[in-house]
Amino acid sequence: MSVDAHRDDTGARMGMWLFLFSELLLFGGLFVLYAVTLSTHGEAFAAAGRELNWVLGTINTLVLLTSSLTAAIALSAVQKGNSALALRCLWGTLALALCFLVIKYVEWSSKIHHGLYPGGAQLAERPEGQMAFFNLYYVTTGLHGLHVLIGGALLGWVVLKIRQGGVHRSNFVLLENSVLYWHLVDLIWIFIFPLYYLML
């Protein structure tokens, strides 16, 4: 009996959707905590938010949106039997993921250099609301960055599987699920960006 006979594509898809739902609950909890804290420290949140680099945040938003496009094109290419295009698009997605992380590193480094990090001397001197803002900022963007790393590793594995012939037009659920996960990473950032970078 062939290996394909034991495949359960429907189960794999359902499992991924359930996992994505659990991820939404995780970040949803952080967004609820943000909203509750904002309601009591609105002015402090606005003051702290203005210290974030909205230009870098905007660039990272465009980077992730573009990466979602290249990932979607890769999936379409595999479904049409064009593995070469799929590989090029996935490499592009991985390059964009690396670009996102480098920009985030630059941004974090700048804030840490100025003592604006949990437990930092400069942050400890700030009002309680600003401390809460930066604590939430580091937790949320740090957790999101971890998801970018995981998503990148997953897509890198898919690249290997395509090169080995394990992912193709008749067996693309692994890529489909990986792209869904990547879209979730992008979707979460779409919420993070205005909440933290566009505070008025």
Say which amino acid occupies 152: G
DSSP per-residue codes, 54-101:
HHHHHHHHHHHHHHHHHHHHHHHHHHTT-HHHHHHHHHHHHHHHHHHH
Helix (H) or strand (E) holding 5: none
* CATH assignment at residue 25: 1.20.120.80
State the total domains in the chain: 1
Handedness of CA 114, 195, 146, 105 (dihedral sign): negative
Q: What is the pLDDT tens value at each position of the chain, 200 positions in all?
A: 344 556 778 888 899 999 999 999 999 999 999 999 999 999 999 999 999 999 999 999 999 999 999 999 999 999 999 999 999 999 999 999 999 999 999 999 999 998 888 988 888 899 999 999 999 999 999 999 999 999 999 999 999 999 999 999 988 999 999 999 999 999 999 999 999 999 76
Provide the domain limits for residue 54.
Answer: 3-197
As a whole number of angstroms, the distance between CA 177 and CA 170 comes to 15
Question: In angstroms, what CA-CA distances link 168 with 16, 27, 92?
Answer: 19, 33, 19
pTM, full prediction: 0.92
